[in-house]
A and B are shown apart, each in its own frame.
Chain A
């Protein structure tokens, strides 16, 4: 392995961020190459310096300051912060108007429950205070129980059915990483972009960078899972493979778990809504509302997580690193440290300059040869003539 490549990878080597074969190759190279070893130790020293920087502690009282600032949000609610909880406090100032409105609504609701008792509801609900207060726990459990008892003897069979059904639809997050050394970066880049489109995926992010005197590009592609292997094989043909890793994370269990929790919560939400419809006093309404808000918040969070998992499993993530092979001019290597690389470049540069000077000189000679021949022939003739005239005298 060439010193340049080793030195480029030393930072990753330091963090163990390379494949095991690469780590071995670099370790072996460091054994034998003094200049790379010097480079490595200086880098290590720098990193140690950073690691050992004295950690600062936040000034005392900062936490209090932050909390005070947050308290201010509560006191003068902004429009975007008008959540249920905060709006209550806000409403407190207009208590009379709002109270009147609530009483009217409550009266209407009450009237409805008295006139049409239990017509809309499958199960009468006790409206006394404590039930509502501990509503969440008490309501969740009976629902589950009734479901289980209803399944009865068929329970085992159906559970098995569900399981086999889901095995076929495993949720797996596939990721792959490919590092390539390519001859022509521009060509490889357009090939990568084209491939992403052809396979029905897209380029999630890309960037172009320059590292020392070589160029490179990083891509993150999102490719349909079934196209991943094909894409990798195709991409490998673009250049020399330096690193290829694939990994898969099975999140089926998490997915099913979250789905079940969401279902449960949705049922709870429905139930709370039906309780709300029957609530008689203002206090009851408000209490149910708090529960409802919490349940809805949780449902939303779970839905977000489900969507994230869907997205991650539907498309695999493919990190590609392209690096152009640098056309290096260094053919002479000096065993020296960092200064050495500069010396080396200056030295080889001068040699090249000298060689090109010599070359130009040779070229000039070759070009001038006919004239020189002619000139010397004339000169010789002239000289002979001169000699003859001089001798005659």
Chain B
């Protein structure tokens, strides 16, 4: 596989195909991140588009101080923060209750009926709702760590803050989420708990 570095270099020289490969490589990750941050499927598609558009405009400024993915994630979180700020002042967007496109719950038991599917769906929405109540910095840190699976160091680079800050944000975010999710114990009863 061609490394990000080479693709970035080619994109800088105006190679659209190289940039298309980068989009292909990162669009799901960015889409996931934006959805988890803003909790709305339609918005996250628009935001993902915006992220790559801005990345293309600014790719000449990318100096390679960090990896390309870190840089891209930073753009994405900044764009999402702008969006959240806009919502606060301008409009109220209800939490999206429809499940996103391409969402197909994998259920351990293949014979699971509609009731289980429904519960599964409820569970997903429930978690997303809980995530959306976290203050944005904690939300970002927890999403990057537990959903996107990044390291503490990468998260510190993306959010441009000290390592210790990332640690406390993740700790606090997780605790708050735990308290929220545990308050509705029935969803966590053994038969509905996610296992590997």
Contact = CB atoms under 8 A, between A and B. Distances in A.
Interface of A: 8, 10-12, 15, 17, 42-43, 45-59, 62-63, 65-67, 69-71, 73, 80-81, 83, 85-86, 177, 179, 205-207, 209, 211, 216, 218-220, 294, 297, 301, 304-305, 308, 319-321, 338
Contacts of B48: 58, 62, 66
B178 A57 contact: no
A11 B152 CA distance: 12
Contact of B127 (A8, A49, A55, A62): A49
Given A70-B19, A73-B57, A46 B174 contact: yes
A59 B161 contact: no
10 contacts: A11-B171, A42-B178, A52-B194, A54-B104, A55-B32, A58-B27, A67-B19, A70-B56, A85-B14, A220-B163
A271 B194 CA distance: 64
Given A62-B27, A301-B63, A321 B164 contact: yes
Nearest to A86: B14
Given A59-B45, A66-B49, A304-B63, A207 B175 contact: no
B186 interface: no
Interface string B97-140: 00011111110000000000000000010010000000000000
Contacts of B182: 42, 46, 338
Contact of A45 (B31, B100, B103, B193): B193
Interface of B: 9, 12-14, 16, 19-20, 23-24, 27-28, 30-32, 35, 45, 48-49, 52-53, 56-57, 60, 63-65, 100-106, 124, 127, 142, 145-147, 149, 152, 160-165, 167-168, 170-172, 174-175, 177-179, 181-182, 188, 193-194, 196
B164 A320 contact: yes
A216 B63 contact: no
A51 B147 contact: yes
Given A52-B194, A73-B56, A305-B64, A57 B163 contact: no
Contacts of B52: 66, 70
A205 B162 contact: yes
A51 B32 CA distance: 13
Contacts of B103: 54, 56
Contacts of B9: 301
Given A46-B181, A294-B13, A308-B63, A53 B53 contact: no
B113 to A, nearest CB: 19
Given A46-B177, A219-B162, 5 more contacts: A15-B170, A54-B124, A59-B31, A63-B27, A69-B53
